[in-house]
Homo-oligomer: A and B are copies of this chain.
Amino acid sequence: MLHGHGDDMYNCPQAVKSNFSSNIFGATDLSGLREHLTARMDRLSSYPEPEPLTLEAKWASAHGLHPGEVCVTNGATEAIYLIAQAFRHARSYVWQPTFSEYADACRIHGHTVKAIFTAEGIDDRADLVWLCNPNNPTGEAHTKHLLSKLIEAHPSVCFVIDQSYAPFTCEPLFTAAEAAATPQVILLHSATKRYAVPGLRLGCLTACRRLSDRIRAQRMPWSVNALAIEAGEYFLEHTPLLQPSIEELLSETKRLIDALSVLKIADIWPTDTHFFLARLRTGNAPALKKYLLDTHGILIRDASNFEGLDETFIRIATQTPEDNDRLIHALDEWRQAAFS
């Protein structure tokens, strides 16, 4: 397992006042969910369904799928590990830099893992191609059109597309129903990201029946806890209340990027979502992370351990305007100290 994911507050002796380190919008209003789960706390006293079939059927119905095309998991992470397990010893291409768990899961399950960095890296020797769209950590989204062409060009390859950040972009992406109608595509979905509940552990994958059955056959019973199932049903009915306005969040992302650009401390990657990658022009990520935490109680993601990146890289997920202003001011102070 990679050491140093984002949201590593548990490692911080200091109080974290603003957390930019995981790709989660921390100001999501969860009061309704917390109230709902508090009222359902008795669910802890019964076993959840061994397979979360009821939630799968409801999710499927809401997204125009057959229930057998949905596999609800213990966070999207379980989906990643189940896919790797179902395709044990496969040849997996991982489109880097990206979330480290695809390669980690593949290695645990005996895959041959190859890093690719462009679409041209894909060839028909691959059994699986793993990509994240929009991508973590770059924020870049490939359009449905580009991916469709790639999928068509490689009919023997199964594409695992992690769409955890789909609710946070305006780019046209595959719907779950479109992907399930394509026998070579597995989509990953994350309640963690969409509803800002990383502690709950809820995600799912969607795919055609044949692929979904193959993967579900690997799943242990009761992998999804009872409150996560409760929350999943709540989300299906309350999504509009729980999601920030994507237009506002992307416009705030642009404001933050513009303000950081003025500081000239880093080159910022173009992004199609609410987080972005930046390469420092001076100093390094571990030192900057420490400075921001010690001096300002601000947590950012040191992105040096993504494959293909080095210790000049940081990743930042846009938060509220107030939090973002604090970050801008803190980075301005750091800049003045660093360049003086």
A contacts, CB < 8 Å to B = 1, 5-10, 22, 26, 30, 33-34, 37-38, 41-51, 54, 74-75, 77-78, 80-81, 101, 105, 108, 196-201, 217-223, 225-228
Contacts and interface: CB of A to CB of B under 8 A. Distances in A.
Given A44-B30, A108-B218, A221-B101, A1 B50 contact: yes
Given A30-B45, A199-B226, 16 more contacts: A1-B219, A5-B50, A10-B49, A22-B47, A30-B44, A34-B41, A34-B42, A43-B199, A45-B196, A45-B199, A46-B198, A74-B74, A74-B223, A81-B220, A200-B226, A201-B222
A66 to B, nearest CB: 20
Tell me the dominant secondary structure on chain A's binding face: loop
Nearest to A81: B220
Nearest to A48: B199
B26 A45 contact: yes
Contacts of A47: 5-8, 22, 198-199
Contact of A220 (B6, B78, B222): B78
B105 A220 contact: yes
A106 to B, nearest CB: 12
A45 B197 contact: yes
B218 A44 contact: no
A225 B226 contact: no
A101 B220 CA distance: 9
A199 B74 contact: no
A35 B65 CA distance: 38
Given A30-B44, A47-B5, A10 B54 contact: yes
A135 B51 CA distance: 24
Contacts of A101: 220-221
Contacts of A81: 220
Contacts of A45: 26, 30, 196-199
Given A30-B45, A51-B1, A198-B45, A225 B222 contact: no
